[in-house]
Amino acid sequence: MKAIVIYSSQTNNTKKVAEAVATELNCAMKPVNDVGDIADYDTVAVGFWLKAGAPDPSTQDLLPKLSGKKVFLFATHGAAVGTPPADNAMAKAKELAKGAEIIDTFSCPGEVAEKVMEMISKKDQKPPWFGAAHAAKGHPDVDDIAAVKAAVKKML
Ligand SMILES: Cc1cc2nc3c(=O)[nH]c(=O)nc-3n(C[C@H](O)[C@H](O)[C@H](O)COP(=O)(O)O)c2cc1C
C-alpha cells in the first residue's frame, strides 16, 4: 500500500487530525492546494472541514479526481457527530468521490473560530449546525485523536 494524506484546514483542526492519520499510516501528508502528482498512490486519506453543509470547496474539487483509489474520508465540523448536518456533508463527499473505493469515514467536532461564531450569532437565520457549535470548543481533543487513530488501525 502506498498512502498519502491530503488535508484542507483553515484553522488547524483538520490538520491536527490529518497528522494523527499520517502517523498511523506512516505516510506523508500534503495540503489540498499543493497536492502534486498522486498517480503513484493507491490509498488516499482526505481530510476536510465543513463549509455551508458540504466539504470545503478545495476538497470538492479534489474528490472527483480520486477515481480508482482507496479513499479514507475524515472531517471536522461545528455540527455534532452523527447528526444530519454532519452526516449529510459526509454523504456529499462520498458522492463526489464516487469513482473511488471508500474504505472508511471518520468525523469529529472542530472548534469554530470565535469571529465566525459571533458573526453567525447575529444572523436571524442560523445554520442547522450552529446549535451544536459551542460544544465543539476545544476539539479535536485527545479523545478525538485517539478515536481517529483507532479507526485507521482498524482499517489497516
Ligand atoms: C465559513 C465557515 C462555514 C462553516 N460551515 C459549517 C457547516 O456548514 N457545518 C459545520 O458543521 N461546520 C461548519 N463550519 C465549522 C468548521 O467546519 C469547523 O470549525 C472545522 O473544524 C474547521 O476546520 P479547520 O480548523 O481545519 O479549518 C464552518 C466554518 C466556517 C469558518
Residue whose CB lies within 8 A of the most ligand 1 atoms, among 50, 59, 144, for a mutation test = 50
Q: What pLDDT, in 10s, does the model give residues 19-32?
A: 999 999 999 999 99
Q: What pLDDT, in 10s, does the model give residues 50-101?
A: 999 999 999 999 999 999 999 999 999 999 999 999 999 999 999 999 999 9
Grid coordinates representing 36 are: 502534486
User: What structural domains and CATH numbers belong to the chain?
Assistant: 3-155 (3.40.50.360)
Which residue has a Cα nearest atom 3 of ligand 1?
51
Q: Is the CB of 75 under 6 A from ligand 1?
A: no
- Residue 40 Cα, ligand 1 centroid: separation in angstroms? 31
**Taking the model in full, what pTM does it have?**
0.98
- The CA-based angle 119-125-130, given to 5 degrees, is 60
Q: What pLDDT, in 10s, does the model give residues 30-44?
A: 999 999 999 999 999
Q: Is the CB of 33 under 6 A from ligand 1?
A: no
